[in-house]
Amino acid sequence: MQEVYRSAFFNSVKPADPFFAPRIKKCLEVTIPTAMRQCVDTGRIDAFKLNWKPGMPNQPHVFWDSDVAKVMEGMAYSLALKPDAGLERVYDEWVDLVVSAQQPDGYLNTHFTTVEPDGRWKCLAMQHELYCAGHLIEAAVAGYEALGKRKLLDCLCRYADYIDSVFGLEPGKRRGWPGHEEIELALVRLYGATGCERYLKLAAYFINDRGVAPRLFENKFDPGNKQADRPVREQTDAYGHAVRAVYLYTGMADVARETGDGELMKACLRLFDSIRFRRMYITGGIGSTFMGEAFTEDYELPNGVSMYAESCAAMGLVQLADRLFNATGDAAILDVLERTLYNGALSGISLSGDRFFYSNFLEVDDNHHCFNAGYRTRQPWFACSCCPTSYARFLPQIGRFLWSVRGDEIFLKIPAAGHAELNFDDGRSVSLRVEGGYPYDGQVRIVVETGGEFTLNCRRPGWCHGFKASFEGRAVALPLRRNWQAGDTVTVNIDMPVEIMHGNPRITADLGRAALTRGPLVYAVEERDLAFPVRELRLPSGAGIQLAEASDLPPGTVVLEGEAVRESFAGDALYTAAAPLRTGAHFRAVPYALWQNRGDTNMAVWLPTV
């Protein structure tokens, strides 16, 4: 199965829009340096010195290697986007340190080399060895593709060769699967960088043997939470740990595309459909419960602090959707990518770039208390720091989610303003500029800067009810093929009125409630913008909602304002037969991804209606 499209290389697209560009800039200036500093202060990078002894502080944890790897991946992308001699010097030092920790047989893991030297591969279900290996591989591929550096790549090829000598169905090998999936997609990336078929074959083994009887994970390790209780081709619904799931599905999509395995791709699409049609929040968040950080049942999507919707899961879903669009050409898949990217993925990091959500709740109230209620405010770091380190590598790659290429066709997936240098399969290249204020403004101009014959296409979002394209003052249909000249401009008008959204009646948490959206953005009401608790706000079904520019959020931010109803009760009785008191109230809603950037506050996405 050949790839229908391929995403643009991250460095070939330079966003200049009001939404993504400031986030990328802040990531390079703040997020990555902050994550580097945390890796130093917590002992994560020093763990590769292999000098830890019992009784010493900062005992290397089983997942620490993955944190360092993700930060190094982000460092490589940062250097490609914005060369910096000082950062490159530190990057090379970290590479040297990681390579120095590799054992003579190729094994590379700080925890099991220093803390449990006799525990290698003994508890794959829980100990993250193959997960860490996957992230180290991704860091190595990033350093090679973005910077042309081979030292870490050669090191991780040795590690992958060693892993291949251990696992598989061939004589002399043992069966084994990662408890936390990640190495599958990483091995396909390594195959892409090196052309070595062995890595693709190993990725296919980890996917195709997973869940096959006799089952390798005992019940005490909850194989269902790890998608390891049945073969992946027999799985019909997304279940188990949400991050593990989307990493697995991404690996499935990659292997299916590279090997031409149509049945595996069909299984992957079935699981993706389970997410987008029955198990995904309106923000693109996934995982309905913090217990096991997992999917639960169809339409079970609670909004408060019992939900999960981890930042890493949202970033993983963006990655999965991008792979599936490229493999199938189904533009409807990009609705999930866009919704998640603009909402559930970016809500997990502050505008300052140094504070993070682990879970991304859709409702926060003073009455919400549970074991994870401490995650209701963004934190500078977590003991389990997967989310902060994921942002270090995710944000610099946003450009690749905007454009894809197929043959000599270029496809604008998300019309964010910026510049793109795209390469065709025949070796030609084209330079384009996108202008406009998307996602706040639906008028987009696509300006061709270098001529030539090719096809230009632009996605019509699934949420869009009015989409018009014009060239030289006349209406045209997209895709449009012609011999383009420098300066040629296609104007696209995407209708984006405010919409009052209702959930499927089977989503009991949203019964009698509505959410506000405009274009790809989901909006939230923060209590700081009200003179009363947000739980008392009621949204009229025919609410007249106006657009306004916010003075206390990034320039260009469009907020929603309108008249609603405040519903309150007199007295302190626990229950009463008295009718509620209703008064008029003005409300303001901000883009969900920007909430809690003006101070700690309560918030709601789904508002009761009246």
How is residue 440 written in tokens? 């706040």
What pairing do the DSSP bridges indicate for beta strands 363-364 and 498-501? Answer: unpaired
d(CA 432, CA 446): 7
Dihedral angle, C-alpha 246, 250, 252, 253, nearest 10 °: 130
d(CA 224, CA 247): 15
**DSSP per position, 506-549:** T-GGGTTEEEEEETTEEEEEEGGGSSS-GGGEEB-TT--EEEEE
Contact 416, 404 (CB under 8 A): no
For 64-123, the DSSP string reads HHHHHHHHHHHHHHHHHHS--HHHHHHHHHHHHHHHHT--TTS---HHHHHT-TT-TTS-
Of 27, 155, 386, 387, the active-site residue reads 386
Torsional sign, CA 69, 100, 192, 450: positive
CA 478 to chain centre: 29
Q: Which of 145, 293, 363, 527 is catalytic?
A: 293
Query: Looking up tokens 């706040």, which residue turns up?
Result: 440
Q: Is 196 a catalytic residue?
A: no
Question: Residue 132 catalytic?
Answer: no
CA 171 to chain centroid = 39
**What is each CA distance from 438 to 418, 443, 485, 518, in whole angstroms?**
11, 8, 25, 11
Q: Which residues are catalytic, by number?
A: 293, 386
